[in-house]
């Protein structure tokens, strides 16, 4: 697969984030929660499933850490022509005081999940995160982790900000379904999509008054706080993501393990809040790589403009700071920008792609570490 096809595949994504963290129990609530849905006594607590083959039930899972083994389970299919998701209807002003969303999920295959907050007569906001196969993943999200859906058919939000008092719908879906709609086996292989029957389990769902320590703020220059136990990024198939702390980054971040080879481009992407890089001149990050890596750093505009640069990361897992100046960015081969100008106010996505295997004709396993990611 060539680089251009890889980047075009990434453009189809329409949802706007140490490995031991994956099995941690959800942090305990220290004050009365805004909303909580325990799944005891076979009680669905208002959760429903939507989709042609989606079914929801309460079951037990003995692998669930902690005392309560009752969990919510959605059985569904990943297939072209069908979208399935879990959802919970909430009342006006019911989650106005929400500071965080805390729960645990378990998927039967490695995928990306998307949590959605839908405003009444307003915008749709989503947060995407990686889930490992067959393991419980604790998820802790701040309201600032949610990005406004900006695709052409997305509902219009007049003020462009998440209004928690107007949210009337909380949803959870397997993002793999979005790629399955293309009906392209190559695309499915690229993103690790496994068509067929699947199951998704949810436990300890709590909307909390407790903020996420170190989480993003509305005026934050950071693109990712790395504050949660999950990785809020989408990756191609075959890439294993894990939240990390400490060496080699000297702080929080995430690692991506994959194979550098001539026939694949391993990459990861995350949506960026609208206007987040206004007034900035550069993108700053710290990278460390087990093997030498050539990484494309790309910023994408909503309208199709794509601008990038390549950074070379030394081998040896040495934490190396990089500054990518906006003035040095070049249009990508598949950039579709009406005005051919890098528009800071329209940037909505960052993409990182290791192209070492293609450029250097290598074939080896590698782990790349990403941290301290911000505009400056």
Which residues lie below 8 Å from residue 226, measured CB to CB, with a gap of 6+?
Answer: 243, 251, 252, 253, 254, 371
Of 269, 261, 324, nearest in space to 293 by CA: 261
According to the model, what pLDDT value does residue 237 have? 63
How many C-beta neighbours within 10 Å does residue 371 have? 22
According to the model, what pLDDT value does residue 297 have? 97
According to the model, what pLDDT value does residue 193 have? 78
376 residues of the chain, pLDDT tens digit each: 444 443 334 333 444 332 332 334 344 445 689 999 989 878 899 999 999 889 999 999 999 988 789 999 999 999 888 899 999 999 999 999 999 999 999 999 999 999 999 999 889 999 999 999 999 999 999 999 999 987 777 888 989 899 999 999 999 999 888 878 877 777 777 677 788 899 999 999 999 999 999 998 878 899 999 999 999 999 876 799 999 999 999 899 999 999 998 877 788 999 988 788 899 999 999 999 999 999 999 999 988 899 999 999 999 999 999 999 999 999 999 899 888 899 998 898 999 999 999 899 989 999 999 999 999 9
Which residues lie below 8 Å from residue 152, measured CB to CB, with a gap of 6+?
Answer: none
Instruction: Report how far residue 256's alpha carbon sits from residue 367's, in angstroms, rounded to the nearest whole number.
Output: 5
According to the model, what pLDDT value does residue 30 have? 55
């Amino acid at each position: 697969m060539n680089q251009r096809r890889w980047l075009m595949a990434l453009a189809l994504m329409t949802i706007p984030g140490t490995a031991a963290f994956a099995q941690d129990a959800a942090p305990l609530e220290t004050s009365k929660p805004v909303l909580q849905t325990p799944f005891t006594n076979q009680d669905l607590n208002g959760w429903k499933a939507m989709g042609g083959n989606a079914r929801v039930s309460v079951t037990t899972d003995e692998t669930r850490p902690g005392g309560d083994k009752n969990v919510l389970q959605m059985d569904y299919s990943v297939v072209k022509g069908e979208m399935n998701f879990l959802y919970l209807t909430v009342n006006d002003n019911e989650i106005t005081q929400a500071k965080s969303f805390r729960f645990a999920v378990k998927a039967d295959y490695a995928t990306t999940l998307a949590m959605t907050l839908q405003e009444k007569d307003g915008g749709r906001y989503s947060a995407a995160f990686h889930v490992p196969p067959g393991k419980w993943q604790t998820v802790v999200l701040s309201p600032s982790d949610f990005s406004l859906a900006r695709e052409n058919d997305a509902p219009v939000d007049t003020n462009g900000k998440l209004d928690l008092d107007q949210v009337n719908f909380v949803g959870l879906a397997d993002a793999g379904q979005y790629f399955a709609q293309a009906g392209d086996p190559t695309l499915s292989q690229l993103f690790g999509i496994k068509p067929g029957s699947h199951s998704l389990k949810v436990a300890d769902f709590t909307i909390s008054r407790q903020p996420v320590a170190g989480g993003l703020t509305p005026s934050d220059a950071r693109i990712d706080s790395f504050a949660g136990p999950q990785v809020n990024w989408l990756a191609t198939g075959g890439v294993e993501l894990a939240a990390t702390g400490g060496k080699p980054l000297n702080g929080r971040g995430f690692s991506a393990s994959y194979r550098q080879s001539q026939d694949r481009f391993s990459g990861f992407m995350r949506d960026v809040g609208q206007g987040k890089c206004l007034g900035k001149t550069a993108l700053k990050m710290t990278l460390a790589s087990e093997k030498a890596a050539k990484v494309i750093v790309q910023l994408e505009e909503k309208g199709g403009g794509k601008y990038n640069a390549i950074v070379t990361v030394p081998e040896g897992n040495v934490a190396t700071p990089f500054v990518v100046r906006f003035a040095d960015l070049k249009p990508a081969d598949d950039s579709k920008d009406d005005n051919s100008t890098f528009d800071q106010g329209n940037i909505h996505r960052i993409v990182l792609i290791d192209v070492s295997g293609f450029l250097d004709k290598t074939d080896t396993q590698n782990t790349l570490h990403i941290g301290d990611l911000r505009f400056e």
